[in-house]
Amino acid sequence: MSATRSPVLAGFVGGFRTRIRNFWSIGHLRGTDIPAHFKILRFRVVTDSRIPKQRVDSTSGARPLAGGFTLMELILVLAMISLLATLLLAAVSSAKSRGRRSVCLSNLRQIGLAVHAYADDNNGSIPYGPKAPPFTSPASFYPSTGSPTSLLSIQGGAPVGLGLILREYLAQTPKVLFCPGADQSVNAEAELKKVGTTQAQGSYYYRHAGVTELFYTPPDPIPHLRLENLGLNREGVAIQALALDTQFVCPPGLESFNVLTRTHHRGTVVNILYADGHAVTRPNKDARFTVDVQTGDIRDGFKKILDVFIHADSVP
C-alpha cells in the first residue's frame, strides 16, 4: 500500500477534522443540543486536561505520586515509622520491667518490716520452722527443719518460713510475698488459699537457718536465729541476706512432683532483702544468683540455695 494518501481519503479526513473543530467551537449550541455520548466525551476531555502532567525523576526513573512523594520516599517514610514504633515498644517494655523491679523491692521492704515486727514480738528471733515431717517424696520442698525455702506452708498445711508472718503481719497485704516480675505464670490467690491445707509456694527464698541435709534432726529445743546476730555463713562472713528472688532452673520431666522452673526479671537481676530491712537490686552476672539443677543431683538444690545467699552476703 502506498505511504501517501489518495486524494479522496485525504479530503475525507480533512473534512472530518474541520467538522469536529467547528462542532466544539459553536458557542450558541445549548447542552441539550449535544448528543449524550459527546457530552461524556467532552467531560472526560475537560477533566483529564485539568490533571497536571506528572514528571519523571531523571535520576531514579520513579514517577511522583499525587502528593509529590516518590515511591522510594514513601518506602523510606514507612521504614522510619516502623523503626520508631520498634524503639517505642522497647522503651515501654523497659519501663514496665523497671516498674516491676521497683514493686518487687517494695514487697521485700514490707517483708522486712514484718520480719522486724515478728522479732520484736518474739524476743528478737526471726521466723523459723516448723519441724519438718519425714522426707518421703521429691514433691516435699521442705525436707529438713531450717532448710532455706520459698514455701509458705508445708504439705500438711502448717505455715513455714515467710508463711509464719502471713496471718498476723501481712494479713492486709499478702500478695507482697509474690514478685510481679515472675517469668512464669503464677496464681498468687490460688497459692495463698493453699496455706493451712497443703503445700504453698511464694516468690522469694527465705533463709531462716543453714541446713542443707535431707535427713536432719534438729536439737531440742530448736535454736532460733536472732535478728541482731544471725551468725556467720560457711565462709565465715556475717549473715546479712534474709530473702531474695527465686531463680530456679530445673530439667523437664519433674512436673509430676510440682518441681518447676521459676525465675524472675528474666534472670538478669535479683532483688535482695537484708537483715537491717533495706533491699537492693543486683545484676545476676554469670548466673551467680541462679539455682541451676539441670545437671547433677537435684538434692543438691538446697546447698545451691545457700550458696546464692552466701553470694548475697558479700554484696550488700
Tens-binned pLDDT, residue by residue, of the chain (316 aa)? 444 445 544 554 455 445 444 444 444 444 445 454 444 444 344 444 444 555 555 555 555 545 567 888 888 888 899 888 888 888 887 788 889 999 999 999 999 999 999 999 999 999 998 888 877 777 778 888 888 999 999 988 999 999 999 999 999 999 999 999 999 999 999 999 999 999 999 999 999 888 877 777 777 777 778 999 999 998 999 999 999 999 999 988 887 777 899 999 999 999 999 999 999 999 998 999 999 999 887 778 888 999 999 999 998 6
Kind and range of the H or E element at 308?
A: helix 301-313
In the sheet with 149-153, reading across from the earlier edge strand, the strands are: 149-153, 200-206, 241-245, 269-274, 279-283
In angstroms, the CA 37 to CA 234 distance is 102
What's the rounded Cα separation, in Å, for the pair 154 and 142?
Answer: 7
Q: For position 52, what pLDDT does the model report?
A: 52
Nearest CA to 183 out of 282, 252, 107, 261 is that of: 261
Measure the N-to-C terminal CA separation of the chain; round to a whole number of Å. Answer: 104
Place of cell 537435684: 298
Closest CA to 154 of 103, 96, 197, 111: 197
pTM of the complete model? 0.72
Q: What is the pLDDT of residue 40?
A: 42
pLDDT at 290: 96
Q: In the block, which residue shows the cell 477533566?
A: 47
Nine-digit cell at 225? 536465729
- Gap between the Cα atoms of 111 and 164, Å rounded: 11
Cα–Cα distance for residue pair 181/97, rounded to 1 Å: 7
d(CA 227, CA 73): 68
pLDDT of residue 104: 97
How high is the pLDDT of residue 254? Answer: 80
Residue 8's pLDDT is what?
Answer: 45
pLDDT recorded at residue 43: 39
DSSP E strands: which ranges in 198-268? 200-206, 241-245, 248-249
| Confidence at residue 74, expressed as pLDDT on a 0 to 100 scale | 87
Rg of the chain over all Cα atoms, to the nearest angstrom: 40
Cα distance between residue 153 and residue 172, in whole Å: 18
